[in-house]
Amino acid sequence: MRTPILAANWKMHKNVGEAVAFVEEFLPLVADAEGVEMVLAPPFTALDRVGQTLAGSAVKLASQNVNPEAKGAFTGEIAPGMLVDLGCAYAIVGHSERRHIYGEDDTLVARKAAALLAEDIRPIVCVGETLDQREANRTFDVIGGQLEGSLAEVDPARAEDVVLAYEPVWAIGTGRTATPEIAQEVHAFIREGLAKRFGERASQIRIQYGGSVKPDNVYELMAQPDIDGALVGGASLEPESFSRIVLFDRQGSA
Ligand code: PEP
């Protein structure tokens, strides 16, 4: 049984006051949510206060990125142990914005995932093809390569602690969601790839869909057999919208 996981990726939005105000409004809206895991990934600057405001709630804290090194001369970077310090349960790695804007590759993503697991933080590993790659019929090649490369350093014994996020780049922030069928096709392919790498454990690994998820499309997406949650950007910035995503999901999966 895979517990659905709904995660908000706020990217470079919200100062500390705005982030805390979101949490104060959001928590009562999801107080009755059961059978789902809820995660908020604010910017680094708001992690501490958001973590304090979430204390005692069912909502977990995540970072949007991490450096794989434990400490040292890496100006501007944040180590996994520092995220432990702030109470992070999850960290997003390999988001397409990190891959495409900052040139991060699968080797670096793999190191980040392993470094997080070593500190008992669960990585949310993002993969996804661009529009050009999809149109050139390269989707499965690209996703297969990203999976293999990004999970290369994960100890199979920890496989269930990894969350995958399939985020077609053409659907991120564009309002253009993959149809449930397109998403399911790729999710099933990802699960097959996970089975080759991790055997039976693959059936326990959650695979989120991300790309213009909204309250009015989450139900159909979540109804697909291999879609186990959502990674949400734009529609996670308002408490009402993200709570509807979380609650819709709960009704849909009941
Ligand atoms: C994301 O950034 O992970 C994302 C899926 O964004 P959006 O929901 O805005 O498409």
Q: Is 17 in the pocket of ligand 1 (CB under 6 A)?
A: no
Which is higher by pLDDT, 176 or 230? 230
| pLDDT band at residue 175 under the 50/70/90 scheme | confident
Q: What CATH number does the domain containing 127 carry? A: 3.20.20.70
Average pLDDT on 199-222 reads 96
Percent of the chain that is helix, strand, coil (3-state, to 5): 50, 15, 35
Average pLDDT on 62-80 reads 98
Give the number of domains in the chain.
1
Q: Which atom of ligand 1 is nearest to the CA of 95?
A: 3
Domain that holds residue 125: 5-251
Closest Cα to atom 3, ligand 1: which residue?
233
Give pLDDT, residue 248. Answer: 75
Q: Is 215 in the pocket of ligand 1 (CB under 6 A)?
A: no
| pLDDT band at residue 254 under the 50/70/90 scheme | very low
Per annotation, catalytic residue among 97, 129, 167, 187: 167
Q: Which atom of ligand 1 is nearest to the CA of 234?
A: 9
* Listed range (59-73, 128-142, 169-183) with the worst mean pLDDT: 169-183
| Helices of type H across the chain | 16-29, 44-54, 80-85, 96-101, 106-118, 131-135, 139-150, 180-198, 218-222, 239-253
> Which residue's entry shows tokens 């291999």?
226
For residue 69, report the distance from its CA to the centre of ligand 1, in Å.
27
| pLDDT band at residue 252 under the 50/70/90 scheme | very low
Give pLDDT, residue 253. Answer: 45
Catalytic (active site) residue 238 = no
How do residues 21-66 score in pLDDT, each as one tens digit? 999 999 999 999 999 999 999 999 999 999 999 999 999 999 999 9
For residue 217, report the distance from its CA to the centre of ligand 1, in Å.
14
Average pLDDT, the chain: 96
For residue 173, report the distance from its CA to the centre of ligand 1, in Å.
5
Give pLDDT, residue 25. Answer: 98
Q: Which atom of ligand 1 is nearest to the CA of 172?
A: 10
pTM confidence score: 0.96
Q: Which residues contact 1 (CB under 8 A, 6 or more apart)?
A: none
Per annotation, catalytic residue among 37, 95, 104, 129: 95
Catalytic (active site) residue 95 = yes
| pLDDT band at residue 173 under the 50/70/90 scheme | confident
Give pLDDT, residue 1. Answer: 85
Contact 64, 43 (CB under 8 A): yes
For residue 220, report the distance from its CA to the centre of ligand 1, in Å.
17
* Listed range (8-17, 133-142, 167-176, 202-211) with the worst mean pLDDT: 167-176
Give pLDDT, residue 117. Answer: 98
Q: How do strand 122-127 and strand 163-166 relate by DSSP bridges?
A: parallel
Closest Cα to atom 2, ligand 1: which residue?
233
| pLDDT band at residue 247 under the 50/70/90 scheme | confident
Q: What is the dihedral of CA 210, 224, 149, 124, to 10 degrees?
A: 50
